[in-house]
Structure 1
Amino acid sequence: MNLYRSARAVAGASGDDMIDWQSAADAAKAVTDPGSLELEPDEREGYASDVREARAAVRSISGVDFDVPDTVEIQNRHHWIDANIATFERVMGALEEEVPAGAFPGVARTINTGTMTVLLAFLGRNVLGQYDPLLLADDPDENHALYFVRPNIRNAADSLEVDADRFRRWIAFHEVTHAAEFGAAPWLSDHLEERMKDGISALSDGSLDRASFQELDAAMTVVEGYAELLMDHAFDDEYEDLRRKLDARRQGRGPLQKLFRRLLGLGLKQRQYERGKNFFETVVENRDLETASRVWEGPENLPTQDELDAPTLWIQRVDR
């Protein structure tokens, strides 16, 4: 790691945007060990076979005809940072269009670039796998992407004292379930984008569009919960021990890491996972997996905030 090079990149932030994205990427990589991509014999084929088998299993369970992205990458941490710069720039660009420049744009740019550096470095050291639906992409037909951050997967498996191949397979299945969701619901990307844009536009006007943020939260809760539902049925091994150990590892981190997770909304994601999982477990207990899959028939079938906490209300509505 090179703290001096990172600080110099942030201090040299320039341009007309709120964030100097290249400087943020350079600074984040300067303080992040890229990790090894020296794959063991057959490891590359292991990733490929995990994705293929996950696709076949999830297709069979869900009845959804979908494919995995053309882009399936085994990355180190620097690769992940480079791949996600464009994603962050798209999302922040929507906000930048709505927010006027302040009185000291140069100072604000440096602060914003430093903040993005910290975020990218933290996530780059912690993300295991990622299904990227490329929200807010300029080309709506641009392929989605599937990433595996190999050094993080290996480190997590070692620290959790679990079999590395089994842990990798579990991550692959989880990410492929997200691919299934967006394959089942071609409208989902547009729905999420519209909620994001409405919320950002309201913030720029000094107001809070609670309805948009609640709908976005509900949709993401469904995304997380349905993925766990498919995992329960598709993964060919019991994985509660993996989930329990990973959750314990997150809870056991130091106060600074816990603060980062809170600031980045990762606690919210955990809540979405738990709430969504409970919702779909109740639906399946009262009906079946086919009924649960009706959430993807259209945005009108997404549960409301009230229905997420009372799944029988949602069942009654979609059964009409």
Structure 2
Amino acid sequence: MQVIDWDLAVATGTRLVRPGPQVSREEAREAVAELRRLSRVAEGHVREFTRIDTETAPQPATIVDRPGWIKANVEGFRVVLEPLTERMAARKGQTPAVVTAVGSRITGVEVGAVLAFLASRVLGQYELFLPPDPSGRAPVGRLTLVAPNIVHAERELGVDPGDFRLWVCLHEETHRVQFTGVPWLRAYVRDQMTEFLLASDLDLPTLLDRLRSAADAVADAVRGGEGNLIDAIQTPEQKEILDRLTAVMTLVEGHGDYVMDAVGPGVVPSVADIRAKFHHRREGGSRLDRTVRKLLGIDLKMKQYAEGSAFVRAVVDRAGMDGFNKVWTSPETLPSQDEISHPERWIARVLDAPALPAAEITD
């Protein structure tokens, strides 16, 4: 059973996405080559600073254009949504075929439109969920950089291209080091996402209620309120799961920002200028752009950068990098949302907790 018409999502997204900046073939080749090189340079800096060891051999980033980013994310969505698809397939007799067919096309168009909006804004990402390779093995992930968006941003900001590209790579490479150096982290995020999806209410009355809530959220956001689609379509159980997901993603995003800013001054000469201009750019945009960002929860992600970075900074200032790295010990040592807002509570729970007595050895 197909919940979303993925082919239509790709077709819609690639049709709607805006073209990238005008560059010559030579400029494009140079940008791609430099981004690949700088991703390797950045990884070395990140590994040394974070002290996170990983057994995964360094790989250059995958460089894509905007349509390529859309296609890659559709592949990831299909992997993430597989548990929900399987569950709905088991219930296919409860839903008329025509409803399923029409619904999958509608959602295909909606997903494509959202991806078209994002595809001109995302600079890079670490793709956690990828389809298995031809051997059937699931890849651990892939670092992807969107070359047209990076070129557009550096031109719009008027910053040094080489410095800006390395600065972006520092943030994204931090995510690769996190998920390859902390073996359980990827599975934890995947399990939480699966739980979130399977906590969905699939009966028609509840679905209609969710749609009404979504419509109210759209109207509220347009009026300048705080409504967003993420809050509108959740069940109570999903809200609890999303709290855990939000906490871990705030941690990894904030860690990426912290590393980027901490390493930056030593290897990116114009980092202060880049950071100031980029922060202003994040908060800008037209009224429509800000409304869409709010609806999609993108403003929440911007908040995550700041809160997560503040948490990391507070812990490192108190306990050093080795003390902070105890956060990666297990799911139990991850901070809650409350602890991210109050780092001293995480420090008290994880770092200052009395050690368990050593087990006695007897004959």
| TM-score normalised by structure 1 residue count | 0.86
Match of 2:79 in 1: 90
- Whole-Å separation in 1 of the counterparts to 2:344 and 2:39: 34
2:321 to 283, 286, 289: 289
> Is the 2:80–2:194 Cα contact (8 Å) retained in structure 1?
no
Q: State the match for 2:126 in structure 1.
A: 131
Which range is displaced more, 203-212 or 261-270?
203-212
Structure 1 counterpart of 2:11, from 23, 26, 29: 26
Partner of 2:116: 121
Letter of the 2:318 partner, please give it. N
Q: Distance in 2 between matches of 1:23 and 1:143?
A: 27
Pick one of 296, 303, 309 that aligns with 1:264: 296
TM-score between the two structures when normalised by the length of structure 2: 0.77
Q: Is this contact kept in 2: 1:136–1:193, CA < 8 A? A: no
Distance 2:185 2:132 in 1: 14
CA distance in 1: counterparts of 2:34 and 2:249, whole angstroms: 30
The AA in structure 2 aligned to 1:65 is D
Superposed CA offset, 1:63-110 (max 9, x none): 222346646222111111122211122223333344556552233222
Q: Provide the secondary structure at the position in 2 that maps to 1:18.
A: coil
Report the alpha carbon displacement of residue 232 of structure 1 after superposing the two structures with TM. 2.8
- Tell me the equivalent position of 1:13: none
SS in 2 for 1:293: helix
**Aligned positions of 1:195-274 closer than 5 A:** 195-204=192-201, 207-209=235-237, 210-235=239-264, 236-237=267-268, 239-274=271-306
Aligned partner of residue 126 in structure 2, secondary structure = strand
| Worse-matched range after superposition: 228-237 or 253-262 | 228-237
Larger Rg: 2
Q: Distance in 1 between matches of 2:5 and 2:262?
A: 44
Go from structure 1 to structure 2 and tell me whether the alpha carbon gap of 1:312 and 1:230 turns closer, same or farther (over 3 Å shift): same
Counterpart CA distance in 2 for 1:263 and 1:68 is 39
Could you say which residue in structure 2 is the equivalent of 1:8? none
The root-mean-square deviation of aligned C-alpha atoms, in Å, is 2.4
Unaligned runs of 5+ in 2: 207-234, 354-363
Deviations 1:205-229 (A, max 9, x none): 6642233211111111111111122
Please give the alpha-carbon distance, in whole angstroms, between the structure 1 residues aligned to 2:37 and 2:185.
28
State the partner residue of 2:149.
Answer: 152
**Structure 1 stretches of 5 or more lacking a match?**
1-15
Match in the other structure for 1:57: 45
CA separation of 1:223/1:137 partners in 2, compared to 1, >3 Å: closer, same or farther?
farther
Quick one: which amino acid aligns to residue 109 of structure 1?
S
Instruction: Name the SS of the counterpart of 2:122 in structure 1.
Output: coil
Deviations 1:140-171 (A, max 9, x none): 64141111111111111111111222111111
Q: 1:38 aligns with which of 25, 38, 41?
A: 25
Distance 2:301 2:26 in 1: 31
Mapping for residues 274-313 of structure 1, pairs under 5 Å = 274-313=306-345
1:109 to 104, 118, 126: 104
Query: Which residue of the partner structure matches residue 175 of structure 1?
Result: 172
- Deviation per CA, 1:170-206: give whole Å up to 9, x if none: 1111110111111221101111111111122222366
Q: Secondary structure at the match of 2:145?
A: strand
Q: How many Å separate the matches in 2 of 1:42 and 1:17?
A: 41
Report the CA distance between 1:263 and its aligned residue: 2.2
Matched residue of 2:25: which SS?
Answer: coil
Native 8 Å contact 1:37 1:76 kept in 2: no
1:5 corresponds to: none
Query: How far is the alpha carbon of 1:245 from its aligned partner?
Result: 2.0
Distance 1:282 1:251 in 2: 24
In 2, Cα distance between equivalents of 1:255 and 1:268: 17
1:80 equivalent in alignment to 2:65: no
Cα deviation, 1:24-80, whole Å, max 9, x if unaligned, reads 111211222453583437544422331122111111112222346646222111111
Q: Distance in 2 between matches of 1:17 and 1:185?
A: 34
Distance 2:350 2:137 in 1: 30
Kindly state the Cα deviation for residue 21 of structure 1 after the two structures are TM-superposed: 0.7
State how far apart, in whole Å, the 2-side matches of 1:49 and 1:195 are: 34
